[in-house]
């Protein structure tokens, strides 16, 4: 028989720690936010599933905005050279964040990217998160607000299936409006699902193809910045 030494109750200790496992990221996110606040920069974290239209939306915003204000784009999602050149040609500073196989951006990567930007020339930073409707919800980046892009081609149940993503968002963009009829998806049902989760959230239907709703997104991302509406 193998001898077993059992500790007497007096030798068993419980140490209280309350050590948050996500605190390292949260702390870096706060530092990013402070840095951006010091420079008066608005930053937006753009999240959404693969193929929902995050990159296209950013390209449309870049085209309309970059002649009016200093725009920078941090691309976390795999972005083609074509996409990057559209955004860069529009005059935005672009930095690619290579996560290789990572499923979300974190505040550390964003912090490193911010060091490489000329912040004096920037008023608005759009951060394109990795195409994923789960993991990014847990990792704040230090942005002022968070947009979730969901498109009608993802089907009628995307909101119900990914509630946490929407609970943490400030604005929801329902994209590919032009395909809603063909898909048999009702935009108002998606919007009503979002409002069941979070009644005060702003929902903006868009079509990056026809340009519908893009101006509403512009008005929502930085309503306090008069230069955006010049």
Partner 1 sequence: MQFVSEKQPSEVRAVRLAVGELTCVQHEQLRFCYQSLVGQTEIKGSALEIETVPAEVSCSHCQYEGAPRYWDEALAVELVPTLQCPQCGKAAEAVRGHECAIRSIQYVS
d(CA 143, CA 166): 16
Q: Which is nearer to partner 1, 95 or 137 (CB)?
A: 137
What is the nearest approach in angstroms of partner 1 to the Cβ of residue 167?
6
Q: Confirm if 175 and 150 have CB atoms less than 8 A apart.
A: yes
What is the nearest approach in angstroms of partner 1 to the Cβ of residue 90?
35
Q: Which is nearer to partner 1, 18 or 118 (CB)?
A: 18
Q: How many residues in the chain? A: 230
Q: What part of residues 103-132 is at the interface with partner 1 (CB under 8 A)?
A: none
Residue 19 as a binder of partner 1 (CB under 8 A): the answer is yes
Q: At what angle do helices 54-65 and 81-89 cross, to 10 degrees?
A: 20
What is the nearest approach in angstroms of partner 1 to the Cβ of residue 28?
16
Residue 230 as a binder of partner 1 (CB under 8 A): the answer is no
d(CA 145, CA 76): 17
- From 18-26, 72-80, 88-96, 207-215, span contacting partner 1 (CB under 8 A): 18-26
- From 46-54, 147-155, 160-168, 207-215, span contacting partner 1 (CB under 8 A): 160-168
Q: Which is nearer to partner 1, 199 or 226 (CB)?
A: 199
DSSP state of 8: P
Q: Confirm if 159 and 52 have CB atoms less than 8 A apart.
A: no
d(CA 28, CA 5): 45
Measured distance between the N- and C-terminal CA atoms of the chain, rounded to whole angstroms: 84
Residue 156 as a binder of partner 1 (CB under 8 A): the answer is no
d(CA 150, CA 49): 7
Interaction site with partner 1 (CB under 8 A)? 7, 11-22, 134-135, 137-138, 160-161, 163-164, 167, 193, 196-201
């Amino acid at each position: 028989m193998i001898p077993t030494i059992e500790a007497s109750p007096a030798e068993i200790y419980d140490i209280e720690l309350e050590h948050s496992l996500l605190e390292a990221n949260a702390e870096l996110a706060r530092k990013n936010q402070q840095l951006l606040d010091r420079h008066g920069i608005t930053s937006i974290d753009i999240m959404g599933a693969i193929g929902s239209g995050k990159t296209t939306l950013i390209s449309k915003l870049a085209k309309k905005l970059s002649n009016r204000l200093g725009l920078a784009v941090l691309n976390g999602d795999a972005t083609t050279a074509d996409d990057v050149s559209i955004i860069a040609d529009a005059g935005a500073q672009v930095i690619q964040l290579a996560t290789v196989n990572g499923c979300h951006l974190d505040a550390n990567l964003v912090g490193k990217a911010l060091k490489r930007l000329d912040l004096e020339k920037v008023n608005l930073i759009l951060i394109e998160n990795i195409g994923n409707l789960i993991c990014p919800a847990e990792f704040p980046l230090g942005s002022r607000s968070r947009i979730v892009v969901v498109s009608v081609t993802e089907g009628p149940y995307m909101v119900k299936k990914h509630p946490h993503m929407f609970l943490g968002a400030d604005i929801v963009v329902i994209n590919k409006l032009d395909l809603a009829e063909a898909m048999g998806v009702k935009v108002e049902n998606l919007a009503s699902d979002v409002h069941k989760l979070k009644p005060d959230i702003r929902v903006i239907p868009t079509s990056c193809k026809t340009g519908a709703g893009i101006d509403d997104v512009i008005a929502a991302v930085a309503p306090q910045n008069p230069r955006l509406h010049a």
